[in-house]
Amino acid sequence: KAGVTQTPRYLIKTRGQQVTLSCSPISGHRSVSWYQQTPGQGLQFLFEYFSETQRNKGNFPGRFSGRQFSNSRSEMNVSTLELGDSALYLCASSLRGAAEAFFGQGTRLTVV
């Protein structure tokens, strides 16, 4: 059974640009969550999608957005990139009603 797949693994962008990260959940998982990991702030929840609907949102500015497609794949978008957006972005998927989340390997975004 394939795990959670995040693409790309590494990304370098310039300040002011926008970026889209992709997450393919484990087959059958319909819940997808996104987290940002930085040395200073640690792991912080961005948002969670279930059946194409955002169910939970963390405390991030509106430049951070996401969506989920009918096949449960999810994308997150960051517009007008800032240096502080440099981080490891992790995606996690889970079954409906399950407490356990499975994480992908992450996308490391560097903003220069």
Residues that bind other proteins (CB under 8 A): 4, 6, 31, 33, 35, 42-45, 48, 50, 55-56, 58, 90, 92, 94-106, 108
**Nearer to other proteins (CB atom), residue 104 or residue 111:** 104
User: Of 39 and 62, which CB lies nearer to other proteins in the complex structure?
Assistant: 39
- Whole-angstrom CA distances from 81 to 5, 15, 19, 30, 111 are 23, 5, 8, 29, 7
Residue with tokens 């997150």: 76
Q: For residues 29 and 94, is the Cβ–Cβ distance under 8 A?
A: yes
Residue among 63, 76, 2, 1 nearest 32 (CA) = 76
Least CB distance to other proteins at residue 63 (A) = 20
CB of 95 to other proteins, least distance (A): 7
- Return the DSSP state at 19: E
2 or 14: CB nearest other proteins: 2
Q: Residue 66 or residue 106: which is nearer to other proteins going by CB?
A: 106
